[in-house]
Amino acid sequence: MNKLYITIAVMLAWLSAPLALQAAAPCVPTKKCEPPPCEFFEQIKMKQAVMRLFSKPKVRQQLIRKAGGDNAKAALLLNEFVEKKAAELGKKLRCPWKNPLPPPGFETNPSCEIVAKLSTGNETMSRESALRKLDTCSEFIEAAYDHEQVHKDICFKTNSLERANEGITVYAAEERAGYTKELASLRASLQRFWDSCSAESSAETARQVAAAGISVLKSKTPKSNARNARSVRGN
Ligand SMILES: [Zn+2]
């Protein structure tokens, strides 16, 4: 086993029904103020949870000990640890994940290409073809490619031997950087929704938006904000 970047953007992969060859579509409405589907919030929650797994110094210490002080081996153990925990989280999903379907996992291969892990096998895929071919929320694809771009950039800058021997701390930091980008992308879509729709949203939606990391505190001039947001959108 020489590859580390079996990116745990694979989190929902165990659910993945064969993906229909149908284009991705936005799940966060941009024209109407309908709340995003349950799955959109759940995806953010899962990504937050996985990122936390990469953020625990105690876990890293334990794994370094378990690897007998071999830092590169500890990185592999962290990879295994996160995949196992992510699979456990996957058993606790609350949304149906039928519509939208879950996105596949992605990884960045040693040639620095982004690969979609489909039920039919791995397929090298550009962002554009992923958006064209994968029947899921387009926001999930955009966010996953933002995550993989972190690995791709580092892959181009580092030689493969260096990368194979990368220690646990460097590995964890790289994954955290990936999840930070991925979450920022997902939250940006939600922020756009909230900026235009907070006034029309239910308390339940506000609660979900807040749990996803968006501030729902009313500013001092909520009405003028809502008006500004509407005029930006041109309606
Ligand atoms: Zn990653």
What percent of the chain is helix, strand and coil (3-state, nearest 5)? 60, 5, 35
Ligand 1 centroid to 178 CA: how many Å?
5
What is the band of 137 on the pLDDT scale with cuts at 50, 70, 90? very high
Look up the domain containing 37 and give its range: 8-233
What is the band of 21 on the pLDDT scale with cuts at 50, 70, 90? low
Q: Are 98 and 91 in contact (CB under 8 A)?
A: no
Take residue 154 and report the two structure tokens written for it: 């580092």
- DSSP 8-class letter at 104: P
Take residue 178 and report the two structure tokens written for it: 């990936």
β-pair type (121-124, 114-118): antiparallel
Ligand 1 centroid to 32 CA: how many Å?
33
Number of folded domains that form the chain: 1
Residue 3: pLDDT above 50? Answer: no
Ligand 1 centroid to 5 CA: how many Å?
6
Summarize the confidence of residues 117-134 as an average pLDDT.
91
SS3 label, residue 10: helix
Ligand 1 centroid to 173 CA: how many Å?
10
Ligand 1 centroid to 135 CA: how many Å?
21
Ligand 1 centroid to 2 CA: how many Å?
15
Q: What is the pTM of this model?
A: 0.86
Ligand 1 centroid to 76 CA: how many Å?
13
Ligand 1 centroid to 204 CA: how many Å?
31
Chain-centroid distance, C-alpha 187: 10
Ligand 1 centroid to 51 CA: how many Å?
10
Q: 2 in a domain, yes or no?
A: no
Take residue 174 and report the two structure tokens written for it: 């790289």
Q: 1 in a domain, yes or no?
A: no
Residue 151: pLDDT above 60? Answer: yes
**pLDDT for the residue 159:** 85
Ligand 1 centroid to 176 CA: how many Å?
8
Summarize the confidence of residues 79-106 as an average pLDDT.
89
Q: Which long-range contacts (CB under 8 A, 24 or more apart) does 114-118 make?
A: 114/145, 114/148, 114/152, 117/10, 117/13, 118/16, 118/18, 118/19
Ligand 1 centroid to 147 CA: how many Å?
6
Q: 115: which strand partners?
A: 107, 124
Q: 3 in a domain, yes or no?
A: no
